[in-house]
Amino acid sequence: MTPSKTSQARLQIDQVHHDNESPLSIHDMTVAYHRKPVLWDIDYAAPQGKLVGIVGPNGAGKSTLIKACLDLVPRASGSVRIYGKRYKEQRSAVGYVPQRESVDWDFPASALDVVTMGRYGRIPWCIPPGKSDREAALHALNQTGMGDYANRQISKLSGGQQQRVFLARALVQDARVYFMDEPFAGVDAATESAIVTLLRELRERGRTVLVVHHDLQSVPEYFDEVLLLNMRIVAAGPTSAVFTEENLQKTYGGRLTLLSEAAEAIARNG
């Protein structure tokens, strides 16, 4: 859609703009589903060692942002760097917690099986996971308070427990930067506080965690940084500075209808 004359210019910008120290640096990223833009020109650099909340209304593109960073959905334009390198070269530095509803929990697997999957990234093709992998998985299960349920079939776990299993799976990835897609959705209070404790532990250990989050009330308590998103980045920065009434109004208010209408128009005609 962009005239080709800009592509060369953009290539040069690529090399200049990315912050090599930042756990996640997004430059000029646009993402479209079926040619309908859902994210426009995202520019963002996450600070090192912080808990970052990604906040915005439904359909704002929060999950898409994460998926586009992990190459799970194609980007129409722009580039993403994890500690200065492409995602492809930095897989071992990245941990991912998908939405709980994205998988079939009736799958024949135990909690331990699922957590062990977190180690698959470092095991070559065709080699089965070994003892050390299972020990790491058990350790992660214990960390999330799920040690007693290691051998339980995953469909027999409660929603909160399933979420903890997903978190444990991310823990065994032992990544430097984590992407979590609504880990707090539909969990009980005990799990919520367990997750928060875990997130803080990760921060203590110098990890960066980006969390898609729905509950506005808990944002100031849980996150050091917020990224207010509604198809574009409305505001980003330290929670105390950015998480203001005015910015929220901008993010959630009805004044952005034009943006989605323009997206609709592009989808219709493109």
Q: Is residue 135 a contact residue for other proteins (CB under 8 A)? A: no
Q: Is residue 196 a contact residue for other proteins (CB under 8 A)? A: no
Give whichever of 48 and 110 is closer to other proteins, judged by the CB atom.
110
Residue window 30-69: x/- pattern of binding to other proteins, with contact defined by CB under 8 A = x---------xx-x-----------------------x--
Select from 2-10, 17-25, 52-60, 201-209 the region that touches other proteins (CB under 8 A).
2-10
As measured in angstroms, the least distance from the Cβ of 117 to other proteins is 5
User: Helix count (H) and strand count (E) of the chain?
Assistant: 10, 9
Phi-psi region for residue 231, left (φ > 0), alpha (ψ -120 to 50) or beta? left
Select from 50-58, 125-133, 191-199, 202-210 the region that touches other proteins (CB under 8 A).
125-133
Question: Would you tell me how many other CB atoms lie within 10 Å of the CB of residue 146?
Answer: 24
Q: Is residue 120 a contact residue for other proteins (CB under 8 A)? A: yes
- Locate tokens 């469909």: which residue? 155
The helix/strand/coil state of 156 is helix
Q: What is the DSSP letter of 128?
A: P
Q: Which of 11, 85, 86, 107 binds other proteins (CB under 8 A)?
A: 107
As measured in angstroms, the least distance from the Cβ of 255 to other proteins is 7
Q: Which of 59, 85, 123, 238 binds other proteins (CB under 8 A)?
A: 123
As measured in angstroms, the least distance from the Cβ of 120 to other proteins is 6
Q: Is residue 189 a contact residue for other proteins (CB under 8 A)? A: yes
Strand 232-238, strand 225-230: pairing = antiparallel
Q: Is residue 6 a contact residue for other proteins (CB under 8 A)? A: yes
User: Is 20 exposed, middle or buried (CB count within 10 Å of its CB: 0-12, 13-18, 19+)?
Assistant: exposed
DSSP 192-244: HHHHHHHHHHHHHTT-EEEEEE--GGGHHHH-SEEEEEESEEEEEEEHHHH--
CA atoms within 13 A on the CB side of 19: 12
Q: Is residue 93 a contact residue for other proteins (CB under 8 A)? A: no
CA distances from residue 98 to 105, 212, 217, 224, 231 in whole angstroms, order as listed:
13, 10, 23, 22, 20
Helix or strand (DSSP H, E) at 51: strand 51-55
Q: Which residues bind other proteins (CB under 8 A)?
A: 1-6, 28, 30, 40-41, 43, 67, 70-72, 88, 91, 94, 96, 98, 102-104, 106-110, 113-114, 117, 120-121, 123, 125-131, 134, 148, 153, 155, 169, 173, 189, 232-236, 250, 255-256, 258-259, 261-262, 265-266, 269-270
